[in-house]
A = this chain, B = another copy of it.
């Protein structure tokens, strides 16, 4: 392990991110399980990329068959890529007609932001103050801004909406919604005054990196209306929220708004790099006319075959149904255990994406040390989670979609032990 870590630090440079106090040396995965070099089995409760399960046989077969048949760039005609784009667009409402495929959420968000700028003739971008949408210079300029200005002068952050640590005390839900909308309004006004105007608001539909907050009812739809009123487009980042993660196809169905542009990524290829920007045909063609966009590896027969296999698995195994049922049971189980420790501040989430906020009982402040201790202890007990949220004090639970009731029950047992050991 020490030698492998030293090799890693040299090969990737020290500072390449790594999970857990004692990193996990993985060698095999199957379904919702991962195995380390010593043969130990873990229940994977973190990974959304292998959404239909590690080493999913249908995906492996589709990948191998297509790579053994044909895999080229998209400047030849190929039926597979077209059919995949059609199927993807059809999973949204009528406003979504055409698709630009790419290789990562970063690339897909770049396309979305530039598409919105071309379509509106404006430059301003709105995002929350605790988000992450990707790692390029443009998309990275939206990362976790807090109260700091973005390095990009056309970006404005507004406070993400939440009910757990509300922006103002003693408000009812409707008032709290207005308070957050007022903050968005200030950001819009600031972009107007700067001369940039509003090109787009880019939000994760369920505010995943913000810590999966419970959002004041009606916020998302009202925010979208305000952005459109200001002449901007609404971009839903469904890289984490989409693909049945919440039990619905899309996170925007959960928070209740209608996007103009939808970005998808992580789970689309079960590990094959695959992402998409979907919008109206007019928006997509406007972007293509301005950029002559071409992406070497995207819209390939390989992406299409694997992307189709993933959708087949979700549909034919009714994974949305599984997510809804198991997710509800797991969330209810965790909520029922809130009384076990005053360190459990909140349990929230949608489908198989659940966050448990850990706090110091004395003052309710975020307890990142406890969150880290919990995820490391859960790992020792054979369950893989991570921590997230603006304070990194939220235990993030996000297993592959076939995660079952038996695993959920086993996890709740390990959870009880862990809380008893660390936070009783």
Contacts and interface: CB of A to CB of B under 8 A. Distances in A.
A98 interface: yes
A82 B296 contact: no
A337 interface: no
B25 A76 contact: yes
Nearest to A301: B26
A16 interface: yes
Given A15-B292, A68-B60, A77 B285 contact: no
Interface of A: 1, 4-5, 7-8, 10-19, 23-29, 34, 47, 49-50, 54-55, 57, 59-60, 63-64, 67-79, 81-82, 85-86, 89, 97-107, 110, 113-114, 135-138, 140, 265-266, 269-273, 281, 284-285, 287-289, 291-300, 302
Given A50-B72, A55-B69, A72-B50, A85 B12 contact: yes
Q: Specify how many copies of this chain sit in the oligomer.
A: 2
The majority secondary structure among interface residues of chain A is mixed
18 contacts: A10-B97, A12-B101, A13-B285, A16-B288, A18-B76, A18-B77, A19-B76, A25-B76, A60-B68, A63-B67, A64-B67, A104-B295, A107-B107, A114-B137, A135-B294, A266-B296, A272-B272, A273-B298
Contacts of A15: 285, 288-289, 292
Contacts of A50: 71-72
Nearest to A84: B11
A72 B98 contact: no
Given A4-B82, A15-B289, A136 B135 contact: no
Nearest to A152: B137
A129 B220 CA distance: 45
A17 B27 CA distance: 41
A110 B73 CA distance: 21
A110 B82 contact: no
From A12, A73, A285, residue with most partner B Cβ within 10 Å: A12
B98 A110 contact: no
Contact of A13 (B104, B110, B288): B288
Contacts of A110: 135-137
A135 to B, nearest CB: 6
Contacts of A1: 77
Contacts of A13: 98, 100, 281, 284-285, 287-288
Contacts of A57: 68
A54 to B, nearest CB: 7
A8 B281 CA distance: 11
A68 B55 contact: yes
Most buried by B among A89, A294, A296: A296
Contacts of A85: 11-12
